[in-house]
Amino acid sequence: MVKKEGEARSKGGKERKNALGTSQSTTKVVKTEGMPAKKGREKGSVRSRKEGKAGSAKSSKAPKAEEAPEEERFFLVKGEPESRIEKGVDLKFSIEDLKSRPNQTEAWDGVRNYQARNVMRSMRVGDLALYYHSNCKRPGVVGICRIVKEAYPDHTQFNPQHPNHDPKSSPENPRWDMVDVKFVRDLRRFVSLEELKGYKEGGLKDMFLLTRGRLSVQPVSREHFDFVVALEDTPDPLEDKTKTKKKSGIS
């Protein structure tokens, strides 16, 4: 579970690292103007159930997974890194929790919004998603996961003891689905929502997260996905501001 205005074309045939950290040959145009200068690569570094009212199934159409070939679609999924207990169940699910699961794989349950559910239903095995920590003091993107099983009924909707129980749903007529996701990798550094907002009128213009950000499962264009991942190799501008304030004695 990404470009800035102005263009810098990569030379034909030149190898570069893709989002998974492997080399590939590319002639893709990546817009970079306005991004912070790259730095040397350093190691840096739920599921959100807060999506507002579910709304009407008829009126809630899924946002389109952005115009890429089926094998190249991208998404963003939100997980909660801090404990939140409801009906005795901890709804926390950070990227560290995903990494701790067998085969680093888990069912992405708990989605109770029709738009988010429909986006999830459009996911296919092999699709990648930005893993986003939400409902916390400093939300942002922490890593990447892969869809390894397509939508199937979410078992928690049938459990009366679970906070995500839906009394109007039944095994014969399930309303809610889940997919299985597998950990791919951490980003080399945390990329905060505050930082992403700085590119709202540039490389991340019209990104779903920055325009209609409440959904816990969202489509992401290939350009926006690449832009966000590329930020891991740049200095954190907010960290630089903090250091500047400390040096100048500003609290």
Amino acid at position 249, single letter? G
Dist. CA 245–CA 250, nearest whole Å:
5
For 52-67, write each residue's pLDDT tens digit. Answer: 444 444 445 555 555 5
For 174-193, write each residue's pLDDT tens digit. Answer: 999 999 999 999 999 999 99
Structure confidence at residue 72 (pLDDT): 76
| pLDDT at residue 244 greater than cutoff 80 | no
For 78-121, write each residue's pLDDT tens digit. Answer: 999 999 999 999 999 999 999 999 999 999 999 999 999 999 99
Strand partners, 170: 173
What confidence tier does 73 reach under pLDDT thresholds 50, 70, 90? very high
Q: What percent of the chain has pLDDT over 70?
A: 67
| pLDDT at residue 251 greater than cutoff 90 | no
Six-digit token string for 1: 């579970």
The residues spanned by each domain of the chain are 8-248
For 155-181, write each residue's pLDDT tens digit. Answer: 999 999 999 999 999 999 999 999 999
Strand partners, 191: 141
Higher pLDDT, residue 4 or 88 = 88
Task: Kindly state the greatest CA–CA separation across the chain.
Answer: 65
Structure confidence at residue 43 (pLDDT): 38
Write down the pTM of the prediction. 0.75
What confidence tier does 213 reach under pLDDT thresholds 50, 70, 90? confident
Q: What is the CATH number of domain 8-248?
A: 3.10.590.10
Q: What is the DSSP string of 116-139?
A: HHHHHHT--TT-EEEEEE-SSSS-
